[in-house]
């Protein structure tokens, strides 16, 4: 699952910086796919992108940061959705609306998925990045339940939801590793069922 940043009108300097950043990511992704992630160095990427290694490090902290460059936008977009949800809109409602707005994976997303599944360390890195969603969910659920600082229910619900989300995410990856493929449409349908189940539990707690 990835999300492109919303279009914003930028000045010439900012547009050039954005173009450089996107070119580095595009070149790196192609090289990771062709040569292998571990076999591709920052120097290789810099040469192919016609920039210096120093320029790359001014945009990205590491190769992994380049590979997962869309994840920051995804997390921020979801966090904003949860923070700005209207009165009476639950965490479940906000997440469902957010997920329904996500497009099916594009070619670069599918290529990134293939690279990640070929390198176990990257798969773990992806899971670690997505675990950052858990505190966002817990904070939002705490508001739904009007829970105090010592209430563990939001943490438990958020952990359960993340376990379900990551299980579905892993099934998307199995299509590249010999497992039974899970289409985007089927995966989204399963997530919708998970959210409906979570909604029932959340509403039960709200009425205790």
Domain count, the chain: 2
Do 31 and 52 belong together in one domain?
yes
Q: Which range marks the domain in which residue 156 is found?
A: 70-206
Do 49 and 129 belong together in one domain?
no
Higher pLDDT, 150 or 190: 150
Tokens 């690279």 -> residue: 115
Do 89 and 26 belong together in one domain?
no
pLDDT tens for each residue of 23-73: 999 999 999 999 999 999 999 999 999 999 999 999 999 999 999 988 888
Checking 100-105 for CB contacts under 8 A at 24+ apart, the result is 100/188, 102/1, 102/2, 102/3, 104/184, 104/185, 105/1, 105/2, 105/184
Do 169 and 74 belong together in one domain?
yes
Could you give the residue ranges of the DSSP H alpha helices within the chain? 12-35, 42-49, 53-59, 63-67, 71-83, 91-100, 107-117, 120-130, 133-145, 153-174, 184-206
The pLDDT value recorded for residue 176 is: 47
- pLDDT of 2 strictly over 50: no
Do 118 and 142 belong together in one domain?
yes
Q: Considering Cα of 16, then 34, then 115, then 40, what sign does the dihedral take?
A: negative
Do 98 and 199 belong together in one domain?
yes
Q: Answer yes or no: is 7 within a domain.
A: no
The percentage of the chain sitting over the pLDDT mark of 90, rounded to a whole number, equals: 26
**Average pLDDT of every residue of the chain:** 82
**Which CATH number fits the domain that encloses residue 183?**
1.10.357.10
**Which CATH number fits the domain that encloses residue 35?**
1.10.10.60
pLDDT tens for each residue of 59-90: 999 999 999 988 888 888 888 999 889 888 88
């Amino acid at each position: 699952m990835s999300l492109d940043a919303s279009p914003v009108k930028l000045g010439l300097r900012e547009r050039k910086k954005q173009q450089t950043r996107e070119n580095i990511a595009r070149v790196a992704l192609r090289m990771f796919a062709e040569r292998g992630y571990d076999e591709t160095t920052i120097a290789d990427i810099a040469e192919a992108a016609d920039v210096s290694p120093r320029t790359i490090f001014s945009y990205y902290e590491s190769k992994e940061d380049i590979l997962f460059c869309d994840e920051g936008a995804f997390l921020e977009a979801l966090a904003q959705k949860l923070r700005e949800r209207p009165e009476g809109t639950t965490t479940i409602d906000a997440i469902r609306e957010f997920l329904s707005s996500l497009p099916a994976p594009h070619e670069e997303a599918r290529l990134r998925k293939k690279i990640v599944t070929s390198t176990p360390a990257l798969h773990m890195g992806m899971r670690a990045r997505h675990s950052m969603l858990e505190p966002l969910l817990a904070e939002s659920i705490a508001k739904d339940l009007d829970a105090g600082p010592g209430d563990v229910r939001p943490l438990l619900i958020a952990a359960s939801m993340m376990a379900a989300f990551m299980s579905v995410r892993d099934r998307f990856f199995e299509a590249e590793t010999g497992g039974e493929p899970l289409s985007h449409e089927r995966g989204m349908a399963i997530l919708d069922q998970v959210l409906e189940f979570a909604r029932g539990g959340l509403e039960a707690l709200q009425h205790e």
